[in-house]
Every structure is written in structure tokens, then in C-alpha cells.
Amino acid sequence: MIVFQDLKKNFGKFEVLKTINLKINEGGIFAILGPNGSGKTTLIKSLLGMVIPQNGTITINNQQVIHKWNYRDKVDYLPQIANFPSNLKVIELINMVKDIRGRKCRDQELINLFRITPFLNKKLGTLSGGTKQRVNLVLTFMFDSPLIILDEPTSGLDPVALITLKELIINEKAKGKTIIITSHIMSFVEELSDEVVFILDGEIYFQGSVSKLKEQTKQSSFEYAIASILKEQYV
């Protein structure tokens, strides 16, 4: 179980997260939603230790994570923008990450799954956005960790890769893993997630299942339910 308690983060004067209290149960797919700049990525990055919050605690299975690093061995992370060192070849990058983790992994299986084989000897700088994202997905999923964090996993993917990704996520869930996803593609979230949390201006606005959200907003579709929350805010 992941617990965020009284989490606060400012960047200068700008309050990105204002007192976040959130519990994420083990197993299942958990979606974090919210408009641009609402603090989704900051929340995820604090869990990963890339952003250091001013206040509050984060625990994974009762273990503190702030200022620790060992726990990341049990976390797989897909960053939002696939920024890779451009002068490296795909295969070199994969081997390097394998070497750094020093753990058994299933790279070959994922290389085949995401059809990366023809690009293995190409430099990362020459790849298209979608191909980069596929390499990014291989790097994320290859270690088989119990916690997977995906920040905008669908960006740039073609329909075939998107279906592959969906199937992969469903398979990983079946293994009992916890998967945290942020996305702006509502159909993707509705199809996959067991629970959603909606963040607005650094605060948690809603937490629960998709059907509960529809009920609360009195909307028949998920997309309209989200839109109605946003309209309420902007008016």
C-alpha cells in the first residue's frame, strides 16, 4: 500500500501540491487525472524521489521513501517525455540500464512485443517519437517490479502499439501488480482503471471508481463527468 500524508510542494511561490492525503491499495490499476499543471507529474515524481516535498511523508508498504533510494529497485517508471542520450544506440541503452539494475530481466520478450528489433542498432537521436516511446516502454516493463508508474504512456503510440500496451498492462495487473497511470486519454483510463483520483490545483477533488464519479456528477459518460468537474472549476 502506498500512503501519501500531508504532502506539500512549492516551486518558489507556486504551490503545486497543497496537502495531499492519498492511499493507494496494493494490486490494481490506479489512474491519476487532472488538467495540465494540476500537479500529477509532481505527485508521481515525489513518489519516485525526483522531487523532494517540503512537508509530509510517503510510505510504500510502511517504509518511508523520501531521501531513500533502495526502494526504487521495486519500482518501474515510464517518464512523460522520452528524453534519451541521443548519441547512444538503442541496444547500448538497454544494456546499460540492465547493467545498472543488475537484475534478471525480460528484455528480449518486450523487444519482440513492441517490434523494436529493426531499430536496435540505430542511434536514439534518429528515432521517431512513437518509436522512442516504445523503447521507453521496453525499458520500463523489462524488470518485472511490483509497482509500475506510467506517466502519459500512450503519447505518440500507433494503434497497434496502443493495443499491445493495453494487453500488457492488463497482464501485469493479473500478476497482482500495482499500476499507477496518468493520462489525458479518457477512453484509455475508463477501460483500464479500477480507481481514479482527480487532482485540481494541487488538491484531491475526487477519489473512487469511474461509476461513482459518473454518479456524483450526474453524467452518463466518463468524459462528460470529467468535463463537468472542470467547468464547475473554471466558471
Contacts with another protein, residue ranges (CB under 8 A): 11, 45, 48-52, 67, 69-73, 75, 77, 79, 83-86, 96-97, 99-101
Count CB-CB contacts under 10 A for residue 220.
9
Backbone dihedral region of 62: left (phi > 0), alpha (psi from -120 to 50 degrees) or beta? Answer: left
Q: Which three cell numbers stand for residue 15?
A: 504551490
Give the chain's end-to-end CA distance (angstroms, integer): 37
Q: Rank residues 96 and 170 by Cβ distance to another protein and give the closer one.
A: 96
Q: Give the Cα separation of 72 and 48 in Å (integer).
A: 7
Spatial CA neighbour of 39 closest among 179, 197, 178, 193: 197
d(CA 79, CA 82): 6
Q: How far apart are CB 48 and another protein at their closest, in Å?
A: 6
Give min distance, CB of 84 to another protein, in A. 6
Q: CB of residue 64 vs another protein: minimum separation in angstroms?
A: 15
Give the nearer residue to another protein in terms of CB position, either 137 or 226. Answer: 137
Q: Which is nearer to another protein, 17 or 33 (CB)?
A: 17
Residue with Cβ nearer another protein (45 or 134): 45
Comparing CB distances to another protein, the nearer of 98 and 166 is: 98
Give the nearest distance from C-beta 30 to another protein in angstroms.
18
Minimum CB–partner distance for residue 73 and another protein (Å):
4
Residue closer to another protein by CB (options 75, 137) is 75
Residue 45: CB minimum distance to another protein, A: 7
Give the DSSP letter string of 49-92: TSS--SEEEEEETTEE-TT--GGGGGEEEE-SS----TTSBHHH
166 φ/ψ angles, rounded to the nearest 5 degrees: -60, -45
How far, in Å, CA of 41 to CA of 171, rounded?
25
